[in-house]
Chain A
Amino acid sequence: MVNYEVYLLKLDLMRLIAVIFSTCLFVSSAYVYVHVYSAPALPIKVMAGLFCGFIIGFYSKDMKEAIISSFTVMVLALILIVFTLSLPVVLGIISEPGLANLFIISTIKTGISDMIFMFPSIIVSTILSYLLTERKLPSSRGKSLNAVIFN
C-alpha cells in the first residue's frame, strides 16, 4: 500500500513536471516565433497564453496547483525567452561589451513585457481547474481529474 502511494506521488510529480515543461516550451516557442519572424504578435501571444492556461487547468488536480503551475510556467518561460533571444550574445556573435549589455537589457524588457500576456492563462487555468475539480462537473464524473487519471 505504501509503495503504491509512493508510486502515485511520483506519478503526480511527473505529471506536474510534464505539464509545466510542455506548456513552458509551447509558450516560449510561440513568443520567440513572434519575435523572430514578422508574424502578427498580439493574437499569437494572447492565444498562446490562453491555450497554455487551458492545458494547465485541464491537467491540474486543484486550483492551488493550477495557480502555482501557471506562475512556474511564467517564470520558466521568461527565462527561456530571455535566454533564446540573447543567443547572439551567449554565442559571442555580439562581442562588444556595451552592445552586448544593451542587447541583454532589451531582451529582458521584451521578456517581461511578454509575460503580461501570460496573466490571462493563470485566470483560465484557475477557472478550468475549479470547474473540473471543485465543482465536479458531469464531465469529470464526480471525481477530481487527477483521481480520474490515476485511479
Chain B
Amino acid sequence: MPRSSLRIRILLLLALAVLSAYFLASSASHYVEVYRAIYSVKVSVLSIIYNVDFGKRVGRVNIIIKIENPSNREVEFIGGEGKIYLNGKYLGSLMFYAGEGVPVPPKAINFTITGIASIPDPYFRILEYAIDKGEFNWLVEAWIHFKIDIHVTIVKCYGEL
C-alpha cells in the first residue's frame, strides 16, 4: 500500500479523535456550567404562617421560601416537596406547586415561593400544644427542583425559624 494512503488513514483517525475531543470538552464545560448555575442558587426559609381551625381540627401552614439566583442564567423552579417539624416533632409533609414551571430570573435576590403543609388530625395536637405554650421552633427540610434547559436537579433547603 502506498505510504500516502496509510498517512491518510492515520490522519483520518487523528481528525476523528481531535473533533470528538473538542465536542466532548465543549459539552462537558456546558454541562458543568449549567450545574454550577443551578447549585449557586441559595434557598432559605423566609417565614412561616399557620392557619388553624380548632373546630374542625384542621391546620394549614404556609412556608415562604426565598430564592437567590446569583448566576447569569434563568433557572426554572418546577416544584418541591419536604417535611416540616415543630418543636422537634414531625408535623406534616410539605408541597411546592409550580404548575408548568416558574422562571427565576438571573441575578434575582428576593424571589419568593410558597409551600403548603396540611396538618392531618393525628398531628394537629402538636400544633395545638405549641399554640397553647407559645413555643414555635420550626424546622423545614425541603427538596426544591430546578431546571435549566433539559437538566433537572434537586437543591436541598434546610431552615430553622
Contact = CB atoms under 8 A, between A and B. Distances in A.
A21 B10 CA distance: 13
Contacts of B49: none
Nearest to A28: B24
B19 to A, nearest CB: 8
Contacts of B32: 87-88, 91, 93
Chain A binding surface SS class: helix
B136 interface: no
B148 to A, nearest CB: 11
Given A84-B31, A88-B32, A88-B39, A38 B16 contact: no
Contacts of A149: 1, 6, 9
Contacts of A93: 32, 35-36, 39
Chain B binding surface SS class: helix
Contacts of B6: 149-150
Interface size class of A (residues with CB under 8 A): 35 or more
B27 A33 contact: yes
A87 B28 contact: yes
A30 B26 CA distance: 12
Which of A18, A29, A32, A150 is most buried by chain B, counting CB atoms within 10 A of its CB? A29
Contacts of B36: 88, 93
Interface residues of B, number: 26
Given A19-B13, A37-B30, 17 more contacts: A18-B10, A22-B20, A25-B21, A25-B24, A26-B17, A36-B34, A37-B27, A37-B149, A38-B149, A84-B27, A88-B31, A93-B39, A94-B35, A96-B156, A99-B154, A149-B1, A150-B6
Interface of A: 18-19, 21-23, 25-26, 28-30, 32-33, 35-38, 55, 59, 80, 84-85, 87-88, 91, 93-94, 96, 98-99, 102-103, 148-151
* 5 smallest beta-carbon distances between A and B, as pairs: A88-B35, A29-B24, A25-B20, A29-B23, A22-B17
13 contacts: A28-B20, A29-B21, A29-B23, A32-B27, A33-B27, A36-B28, A36-B30, A37-B30, A37-B149, A88-B36, A94-B35, A99-B154, A150-B6
